[in-house]
Amino acid sequence: MSKILFIVPPAVSFDDFITPSDNVRVVKKGTGSYGNVYTDMPLGVLSLSAYVKKYAGAETRLVDFNVLLNKLSGFGFSSFADFFRRSVLEKNLPDYSPDIIAISALFTPAYRSVLDIARICREISPGSVIIAGGAVPTNMYKEMFGESDAFDALCFGEGEKPLLGLLKAGDKMRYFKENSSWITPQKAFNGQLFRHDFIENLDEIPFFDYSILNPDDYGLNPAITAYAAVEGKKQNFHVMTSRGCPFRCCFCSSHTVHGRKVRYHSLNRVKDDLTRLKDCYKAKTIVFQDDHLLANKKRALEIINVIKELRMTPVFQNGLTMYALDRKMLENLKDVDVNHIVLPVESGSGRVLREIIHKPLNLSVVKRVVDDCRELGIYTTVNILIGFPGETKSDIEESRLFLRTINANWFIILVATPLVGSEMFGICLEKNYLKGDYIDCSFKSGIIETEDFDVEYIHEKEYALNLELNFVENSDLRLGDYKTALKGFENAIKAKNDHAFGYYYAARCYEEFGEREKALQYIRTAKKIVSESLFWRKYADKFNVPL
């Protein structure tokens, strides 16, 4: 029986964890405030584990460093490498003695951690086969092999079939050499082309192997707790009922792993999985991670009916395609207690949507969906990106003015980030627009400079738009829905306990409730923050907030 140790590295760079910037969520620990770490259930690993257990009888274990970082009461390590070695690897690798160590990396901020983990594993467990998979190895294999000799091979695209083939191979090094879904250093630098090996019928993958994790470790996932309108945020389980997306958004690299053809689990399979999650794991909230859940509206409505029958609550973390959110769809969502959805609008500029992002979205649809949601009592968060190559300051201003006209409850303003494998990354390389480290960049820190803007402008604009749309021009406050407005402001304070605008605008809500003492307390806190912070003083002056 082969033994596999799956490792998930932190999805945040060490610098962003240790010294988070002023415009991000932070988590307080005994040794200080640290950057936010997302703890989504690693569905790729859960699928791989289920697949190789069924078809190869493998034994598997999981180490998720995102969970371990979240659970620490303080961070007393000199580096992530020190944390990896001392907290887990030195203690567990010798005892478990895995035949294969498989590192799963989705996002580029994990890149340096992947290299550190592989190096440490090679030192401690020299007899193990060390591999890595996910979006990072698929798109950055030349960089990885150029910096590290710790990997035996990297997987190209989805890993179920390549990993199963590896387990069944007598000569694993020969298998790496001959199989076109495995990347070796020699093949990488000889210009060889690699091939996806997709599972067309997703029902071939067994029920995801949730047994290798502790569901409670994922109950405080900030991606869920950030939902101001979602109640009962624990007992949530992540699922993925399809793979692939046909759209060609310039900023996305998902197609490099899952392809553009949408593949589905059957409806019977989805129902069986959800029923099993409820019966065996007491799941109450189902977090859908599909790239394009609404690709088939009829199927989506049937899944919603299953959710209703099981008396569960769905959350759509990746956003829902705007054109599919007609009134009937929204009414069905409301009928299963969906009271918060993310709308992937991306830009309030029609030109940017059409010519740069390649997103087939008419802005009139945005207004209609937001208004329908408000009428139905569904809280809406609108995702916006700024700083695309080809975008101008005029486009950003056009977007700002449009966004002020829609009555969304909240806006998430992000900086366009050149993910390796995306069209946008290729454009930035070609035009020499990258002015920083694209590996460690995040959606809160820009590294793109064009003929129209520099990094400082985009960074400033991103945070100013956040404050303007969510606080100064908050639609719930403007429309007199002070209870809903307060949820948003209090959530901002939880995410950043020195949020001067959060305290000030929450105070205005308490004034409307007649809770004058609470309002005065919050006003005093806001004024104290502004008096001690040049950062907040600047924005209070910019927006004429009387602090």
Tens digit of pLDDT for each residue in 280-306? 999 999 999 999 999 899 999 999 999
For residues 492 and 25, give the distance between their C-alpha atoms in angstroms, rounded to a whole number. 9
Torsion sign across C-alpha atoms 487, 488, 491, 496: negative
Q: What is the pLDDT of residues 210-224, one digit of tens each?
A: 999 999 888 765 555
Nearest to 341 by CA among 405, 247, 408: 408
Q: What is the pLDDT of residues 491-506, one digit of tens each?
A: 999 888 899 999 999 9
- The residue behind tokens 């890149």 is 111
Q: What is the DSSP string of 287-321?
A: EE--S-GGGSHHHHHHHHHHHHHHT-EEEETT---
CB atoms within 10 A of CB 310: 18
- Do the Cβ atoms of 114 and 131 come closer than 8 Å? no
Nearest to 291 by CA among 314, 261, 336, 331: 261
- Do the Cβ atoms of 37 and 12 come closer than 8 Å? yes
pLDDT at position 440: 66
Q: What is the pLDDT of residues 39-80, one digit of tens each?
A: 889 999 999 999 999 999 999 999 999 999 988 888 989 999
Average of pLDDT values for 240-256?
Answer: 91
Does the pLDDT at position 129 exceed 50? Answer: yes
Q: What is the pLDDT of residues 417-448, one digit of tens each?
A: 888 899 999 999 999 999 877 776 666 677 89
Does the pLDDT at position 35 exceed 90? Answer: no
Q: How confident is the model at residue 195 (pLDDT cuts 50, 70, 90)?
A: very high
Q: What is the DSSP string of 503-520?
A: HHHHHHHHHHHT-HHHHH
Average of pLDDT values for 458-471?
Answer: 96
pLDDT at position 224: 53
Q: What is the pLDDT of residues 349-367, one digit of tens each?
A: 999 999 999 998 999 999 9
- Do the Cβ atoms of 526 and 497 come closer than 8 Å? no
Instruction: Please give the span between the terminal C-alpha atoms of the chain, in angstroms, as a whole number.
Output: 66
pLDDT at position 367: 96
Radius of gyration for the chain, computed over Cα atoms and rounded to the nearest angstrom: 24
Does the pLDDT at position 202 exceed 90? Answer: yes
- Do the Cβ atoms of 287 and 225 come closer than 8 Å? no
Does the pLDDT at position 229 exceed 50? Answer: no
Average of pLDDT values for 16-32?
Answer: 76
Average of pLDDT values for 406-423?
Answer: 93
Q: What is the DSSP string of 364-426?
A: HHHHHHHHHHHHHT-EEEEEEEE--TT--HHHHHHHHHHHTTS--SEEEEEE----TTSHHHH
Torsion sign across C-alpha atoms 386, 390, 396, 399: negative
Q: What is the pLDDT of residues 365-381, one digit of tens each?
A: 999 999 999 999 999 99
DSSP helix/strand/coil, 262: coil
CA angle, 278 then 283 then 287, to 5°: 120
The dihedrals phi and psi of 46, each to the nearest 5 degrees, come to: -65, -35
Q: Which amino acid is at 373?
A: C
Task: Determine the length of the chain.
Answer: 547
pLDDT at position 228: 44
pLDDT at position 18: 87
Give me the chain's average pLDDT, please.
Answer: 92
pLDDT at position 423: 94
Average of pLDDT values for 512-521?
Answer: 96
For residues 365 and 406, give the distance between their C-alpha atoms in angstroms, rounded to a whole number. 11
Average of pLDDT values for 398-413?
Answer: 96
What tokens appear for 410 in the block? 């909240």
pLDDT at position 222: 52
Non-local (6+) Cβ contacts of 301 within 8 A are 329, 332
Q: What is the pLDDT of residues 317-338, one digit of tens each?
A: 877 889 999 999 999 999 998 9
pLDDT at position 437: 75
What domains does the chain contain, in order, with CATH numbers? Answer: 3-189 (3.40.50.280), 226-245+252-338 (3.30.750.210), 339-470 (3.30.750.200), 474-547 (1.25.40.10)
Q: What is the DSSP letter of 89?
A: I
Non-local (6+) Cβ contacts of 514 within 8 A are none
Does the pLDDT at position 527 exceed 70? Answer: yes
